[in-house]
Amino acid sequence: MINKYLYAERRLRIPEYVYFILTERCPLKCPQCYNVGKEPKEMLFEIFVDNFDQAREMGVKKIALIGGEILFYSDIEKVLGYVSESDIYCTFASSGYNIEKIIHILKQSNNIYPIISLNASKKEIDKITRDGFEYSIKAMQLLEENNIAYSINWVAHHSNVNDFSDFLDFVFGRGAENVLILQTKRNTEDIVIDNLTEKDVQKLSEIVTQSSFKNRIMVDRCSAYLQERLFGRKEKRTVGKGCCAGEFIMAVNVDGKYQPCQHMSIISNELKLNEAWTTSEKFALVRDSRQGCITEIK
């Protein structure tokens, strides 16, 4: 059955992606991080299974596992093992921390796709906004050695734009399939770290336009601004460009509660995933407001 867009309700019939916030724990201290709680919690494996099964019964075809650092999650092997037995496509973003303990699962699975987070080709640039450079490099090496397909998340900052051309050579030379550009958000202290300037965006546009890897560079769907500036794409709102919270995606938090997006603290009162997607008044308000969390360019 086609997953139709319901214009009157401003949502897809079923979510395109359900995000599972498995853990708020992380061994790293990234300056750009927006997801570190004072008392970090984890999702019970039983809560994951219950909501994963609900999503599958609803007809959801794609999920994403997020954190914190999901490879720091106590039951990550159980979760990936459970997912690998299904026909649901699953992505997860990670610094690469401790990835060696799940390599055997990734080698055997055909529906789990890792995305490694890295912001620069050099540690001195990467550490301005991220932590764990060595973990990311080791993960890329292991994935390439084991012929496991993967992509890269690159968050655009003022400090790393001039490195982007070298960065593309660096990651594509180590087996990455694609690079996804993300726009920075406010961190846990409500501060925008090292934000882009208009000159940075112009420079980034020139690098992308001239790159031989142009067809392997993508922009996160949340950033319609960068989509247009880097690729000249000005697409209709209803194909998922710009903030898509509650419209194309939803999240299950560590407590098993439902949010329009993992970046929003709004929590639905509904007790079932399908009910949150179809009847939640809080989801409806988010859809009507269409206010995202992307920071403005300086």
Question: Does residue 159 carry a pLDDT above 60?
Answer: yes
Share of the chain above pLDDT 90, in %: 74
Q: What average pLDDT does the chain have?
A: 91
For residues 203 and 160, give the distance between their C-alpha atoms in angstroms, rounded to a whole number: 11
- Residue 16 confidence class, pLDDT cut points 50, 70, 90: very high
Question: Does residue 122 carry a pLDDT above 70?
Answer: yes
Question: Does residue 241 carry a pLDDT above 60?
Answer: no
pLDDT of residue 233: 60
Q: Please spell the DSSP secondary structure of 46-86, one letter per residue.
A: HHHHHHHHHHHHHT--EEEEESS-GGGSTTHHHHHHHHHTS
pLDDT of residue 70: 94
pLDDT of residue 213: 96
Residue 32, exposed/middle/buried by CB under 10 A (0-12, 13-18, 19+)? buried
Question: Does residue 49 carry a pLDDT above 70?
Answer: yes
pLDDT of residue 58: 96
pLDDT tens figures, 128-158: 999 999 999 999 999 999 999 999 999 999 9
pLDDT of residue 36: 58
pLDDT of residue 28: 87
For residues 145 and 124, give the distance between their C-alpha atoms in angstroms, rounded to a whole number: 26
pLDDT of residue 24: 92
3-state SS class at 209:
helix
Question: Does residue 280 carry a pLDDT above 90?
Answer: yes
pLDDT tens figures, 173-208: 999 999 999 988 777 777 778 889 999 999 999 999
H-helix or E-strand spanning residue 128: none
pLDDT of residue 239: 46
- Residue 105 confidence class, pLDDT cut points 50, 70, 90: very high
Question: Does residue 104 carry a pLDDT above 70?
Answer: yes
If you count DSSP H runs as helices and E runs as strands, how many of each does the chain have, helices first? 10, 11
For residues 277 and 289, give the distance between their C-alpha atoms in angstroms, rounded to a whole number: 16
Q: What's the rounded mean pLDDT across residues 256-276?
A: 93
Question: Does residue 291 carry a pLDDT above 90?
Answer: no
